[in-house]
Amino acid sequence: MMTEADYYAFFDDYLNDRLDAPVRENLERRLAADPVLAERLADYQRVTGTLHAYGQRLRVSEKLRAIQAEIDAEQETTVETGRPDMPVLRISRTEQWLREFWHGHRATMGVAASVAVLAVFATLLGLQWWSTLEQPARVQQLRLEVAQLKNAQKKSQRVMNQVINQIGATPPPVQGKFSGTGFALTSDGYLVTSYHVIRGADSVLIEGRDKQRFRAEPVFSDAAHDLTILRITDRRFKGFGRLPYTVKRRQADLGEKIYTVGYPREDQVYNDGSLSARSGFEGDTGFYQISIPVNPGNSGGPVLDDKGNLIGVISGRQMDVQSAAFATKSSYLARLVDSLSAAPNPHTYNLPKQNQLTGQTRPQQVRKLQDFVFVVKVFE
C-alpha cells in the first residue's frame, strides 16, 4: 500500500517528466478514471506551488541584500572622495531578522518545510475526503445505520484480542456484532467491502459461513465510490480456492434480473430484484440503482446477474423511495484494480477469468457463491 510520501515522490517524478513512458501512461489513465487521485495530484501541485513562491521570495530578498551591500560600500567611498550621496535602499529590521534567521537555521527550516508539506497536504486530503462523504439529507446511506449499530454494540480492543486468541476454538454464542458483508476478489486473500463499513476500525475480522475467522486489513479505500479492498493477514489462511464468478467490465442492462447474498443478520440472506437505473442518486454514473430490499448488514455485498457475473457492490439505499438501493458498478471496480496493478511497486490482482455459474439454476448458483461471501466484523 502506497504511503503519502510515496505519492509525493511519484507525483514529483511525474510533474518533472522523470517517469518511463509506460508508467506515465498508466498513471494518466488512472488519473482520468479516478477523480480522488486526480484531486490528490491537484492538491500536491497547489502546495508545491506555494512553497516555490516562498522560495522565490527568499531569492529576491537575497538579491536586495546584495544590492544594499553595494550601496553601503559606495556610500563609504563617497564620504572619502566627496562624491554626491547616493539613495539608500532600506530594509526593515523584521526583514533583516528573517534573512539572518534563514541563514542560521537553513537546515532546520528545510526539515520543517518538508513536515509542513506533509501536514498541509494531509489536511487538504482530509477536507477533500470529508466533502466526498457528505450526502444529501434525503439519502439515508446504510453507513448511518451501521454507525448506529456500532455505537449501540461497540466492542473494546480487549474484547477484540479475546476473539483473536479464540480463533480456531469452538466459537461462543456471541462473538461481537457484524458490521457488513464482504466477498472474495482474488483467490489469494483479497476481498471487497464498502468503505463505510470499515471506516474508523482498529481491527477487522472476516468470518465465513463455516465460522472460520481471519484477521484482515484495508489496503486501499475509495470513499467517493464507497469501496475498500481488504487483505487477509492471518498466517493460517491458505487461499479461497477458485472463485466461481467473474467481474463484469461493461455496463449491465436496464431491467436485468439480479440478486445478492449477504449478512443483514448472522445467517446468510438471499434477495433478488432488478436493475432499475444505470445511474445512482442524482445521476451519479459510478453507481446503479437496484430494486433489491437491503438492510445495514448488506453493505459491501455482491450483486450478480442471472449468468453469475458480478455487476456491483451494495452501498446504500434511499429512504424516501420504496425499495430503492444503490450499488457501486463492477466496471469501476475492475478499472480500479487495473490501475492499482499498474501503480509503482504493484501487487498483481488476479481477478477470476472463468465463470462457473453460467447455465446453473439460481439455487445452484447461490450454493457455489455462499463460501465466498463473508461477515465483516469491525472493532473500534
Q: What is the pLDDT of residue 194?
A: 94
Beta 309-317 vs 246-247: how paired, if at all? parallel
Cell numbers representing residue 164 in the block:
483473536
Are 216 and 231 contacting, i.e. CB atoms less than 8 angstroms apart? yes
Q: What is the pLDDT of residue 339?
A: 87
Q: What is the pLDDT of residue 301?
A: 96
Q: What is the pLDDT of residue 39?
A: 77
Cα-based angle 180, 183, 188 (whole degrees, multiple of 5)? 135
Q: Cα separations (Å) of 31 from 20, 110, 221?
A: 16, 30, 16
Q: What is the pLDDT of residue 15?
A: 86
Q: Which residues of the chain fall short of a pLDDT of 70?
A: 1-6, 50-55, 57-58, 61, 72-178, 318-323
Q: What is the pLDDT of residue 4?
A: 62
Q: What is the pLDDT of residue 5?
A: 64
Fill in the amino acid letter for 132.
Answer: T
What is the tens place of the pLDDT at every residue in 305-348?
999 999 999 998 765 555 679 999 999 999 889 888 888 777 88
% of the chain surpassing 70 pLDDT: 66
Q: What is the pLDDT of residue 69?
A: 73
Q: What is the pLDDT of residue 96?
A: 58
What is the tens place of the pLDDT at every residue in 139-164?
455 555 555 555 554 544 444 455 44
Q: What is the pLDDT of residue 135?
A: 45
CB atoms within 10 A of CB 305: 20
Q: Cα separations (Å) of 275 from 8, 136, 248, 308, 355?
A: 41, 23, 14, 15, 21
Q: What is the pLDDT of residue 57?
A: 67
Are 340 and 219 contacting, i.e. CB atoms less than 8 angstroms apart? no
Q: What is the pLDDT of residue 68?
A: 72
Cell numbers representing residue 19 in the block:
517517469
